[in-house]
Amino acid sequence: MKYLKELGFRLLFSLIFILFYGFYYKILFPLTVYPAYFIINLFYSVSFVGNSFVISNSIVNFIPACIAVAAYALLFLLIIFTKGIGLKKSVKIFLIGSGLILVMNVLRIDLLLIILVELGNGYFDKVHLLFWHFVSGVYVAFVWIYLVKKFRVSGVPIVSDIKYLYKRINS
């Protein structure tokens, strides 16, 4: 019965998380954009206007995808849907993983801005699409693998719960 309560809590918590998904952008936007602005401003003249940077006669608009809210959500869901991770360990994993995602995202934004200024829109678009379609997903996967090894997580998201429930039903 203890397991079912814990599973119910995890499912309820994931539903609450999903319901407030749009709210996380408001938290993550300043945590992402201000450090990126500070760093890039050390090398280039940049203006920060609304949700945009003006750099070298170009306007770079930040939308929710730029802030990588989905990466944080994926990390959260991987944690919440993995059987056997306690609350304290889950919080540690999420904070460390979020920190790794945040640092990489700030560096990604600054790298893209450097490419825009130094190489132009064509290269910016190509590298931006490469990051968006490939690198970001692979990076989150590597972060998850690193965290699983660091915190000795033995469960597999969703699979561990299904195996446990199947075993329990058939016994």
Q: Which pair of structure tokens corresponds to residue 101? A: 């995602």
Give me the phi and psi of 20, to 5 degrees please: -100, 20
pLDDT tier at 165, thresholds 50, 70, 90: confident
Give me the phi and psi of 101, to 5 degrees please: -65, -45
Q: Is 54 helix (H, G, I), strand (E, B) or coil?
A: strand
pLDDT value at position 100? 98
The alpha carbon dihedral of 82, 85, 87, 91 has a sign of negative
Percent of the chain with pLDDT over 70: 99
Predicted TM-score of the model (pTM): 0.90
Residue 99 has pLDDT above 90, yes or no: yes
Per residue in 25-61, pLDDT (tens digit) is 999 999 999 999 999 999 999 999 989 999 998 999 9
Q: Which pair of structure tokens corresponds to residue 93? A: 């994993």
Task: Please say whether the beta carbons of 44 and 55 come within 8 A.
Answer: yes
Q: Which pair of structure tokens corresponds to residue 76? A: 């959260």
